[in-house]
Amino acid sequence: MHGTNGTGGRLRGRNGLAAAGPINFGPLAYWVGFNLRMAQEAAFQAFSRRSQDIGESPGRFATLTLIARNPGISQTELSQANGRDKSSLTPVVEDLVRRGLIERKRMDSDRRTYRLNVTAAGKKVLTTMTRCARRHERNLDQLIGVRDRKRFLQILKRIAAEIE
Amino acid sequence: MHGTNGTGGRLRGRNGLAAAGPINFGPLAYWVGFNLRMAQEAAFQAFSRRSQDIGESPGRFATLTLIARNPGISQTELSQANGRDKSSLTPVVEDLVRRGLIERKRMDSDRRTYRLNVTAAGKKVLTTMTRCARRHERNLDQLIGVRDRKRFLQILKRIAAEIE
DNA sequence: AGCGTATAGTTTGGCATCAAACTAAATGCC
DNA sequence: GGCATTTAGTTTGATGCCAAACTATACGCT
């Protein structure tokens, strides 16, 4: 029963005040979904702070990397690779084009789709962003430990790919 | 170099079309932050679908559990335990009160803070929700494997708690 | 008691996201 | 060629979240 205390789960002073003591997480403590969310958001917050230092939005990072690694990628392919809806991508692409970090050309063979490419300026920004991300990753690595890192990543990928 | 092909990272047909082939994730493939996000969102989506079946919002779940396990908890304590800003909690609490799942009373000793408690109706809903969450967890467990589950959870908790 | 500071919760404004409706172009079928 | 269907991207509307400003209460210091 996770060590209850006869008051329904929480220490109380004699006037019925909830004690400031530790929270009882109940089943949340050992459920993966909850802890996955907490870890992801903590990591994201940490990365956000770092991103601010270089004046970039964390969301731009994966997007720019994927375009750089897959020259000529379309917006739909990109949104899928990035795990976001294609409609979310519209303003992001607009912003990146406006700032001259990527270029977008209509395809000749199919005039509905665009092909995205990183410009020279974009590559420069990406280098800075990558350095920043590497620092973040080193930080995470320390928490995980080299020993478990590979297995940990494998499990994450498995969840992302295979959950019903 | 992750097996590039001399065209900047991506296979192309003879007319410069980006091939429909697999995406090159570059460094994202082995970075924890990216995979953590992808896994979390996949898991959340899966849980969302399940939640719909029982007609509940996934966000209500942790909230209700925490109130049930910590009777008399304040909104600020709750928002911290749940990893959300206290302002996000206002509409959630309103909704839960409106639907009669929790009750909220001003504290006598400090008339700024509320004390939250789950009602009988709320406990009933929570039971249903918990069953639903358990099915979700069983699913995740299968992907992770009993062998690694404990270690995996530990790492998630460590990231949530200790990332600068 | 009185005043400045801290705290609990709400309000407001902005952002990222998704889903569904929409537009334009391509494809398939007759 | 013509019409229905599919596909790429955009627009629109709703949601959930955060951060900052705000209100009301409490606390601490003198």
Mean pLDDT of A102-120: 94
**What's the pTM value of the predicted model, to 2 decimals?**
0.88
Nearest CA in chain B to A78: B23
Per-residue model confidence (pLDDT) at position A143:
94
Residues of A with Cβ-Cβ distance to B102 under 8 angstroms:
none
Is the distance between the Cβ of A110 and the closest atom of strand C smaller than 7 Å?
yes
Q: Is B54 on the interface with A (CB under 8 A)?
A: no
In contact, B119 and B100? CB cutoff 8 Å: yes
CA distances from B30 to A131, B27, B61 (A): 15, 6, 32
Mean pLDDT of A110-133: 95
In this model, does residue A67 exceed pLDDT 50? yes
Residue A19, C-beta contacts closer than 8 angstroms, at least 6 positions apart: A10, A11, A12, A13
**Closest to A156 (Cα-Cα) out of A52, A35, A13:** A35
Q: Say which residue the tokens 């297995």 belong to.
A: A151
| Record: contact B32-A156, CB cut-off 8 A | yes
In contact, B158 and A143? CB cutoff 8 Å: yes
Compare A46 and B11 and report the one with higher pLDDT: A46
| Record: contact A72-B130, CB cut-off 8 A | no
Half-sphere exposure of B67 (CA within 13 A, CB side): 27
Q: Is B136 on the interface with A (CB under 8 A)?
A: yes
Q: Could you tell me the distance in Å between the CA of residue A110 and the C1' of nucleotide C29?
A: 21
Residues of B with Cβ-Cβ distance to A137 under 8 angstroms:
31-33
In contact, B148 and B107? CB cutoff 8 Å: no
Please, which positions of strand C sit below 7 A from a protein CB?
7-13, 16-21, 24-27
> What kind and span of H or E run contains B123?
helix B120-144
Residues of A with Cβ-Cβ distance to B43 under 8 angstroms:
32-33, 36, 159, 163
Q: Could you tell me the distance in Å between the CA of residue B80 and the C1' of nucleotide D28?
A: 26
Per-residue model confidence (pLDDT) at position B20:
56
Residue B72, min C-alpha distance to chain A (Å): 6
**Token pair for A154:** 């494998």
Residue stretches of chain B with pLDDT short of 70: 1-20
In contact, B11 and B21? CB cutoff 8 Å: yes
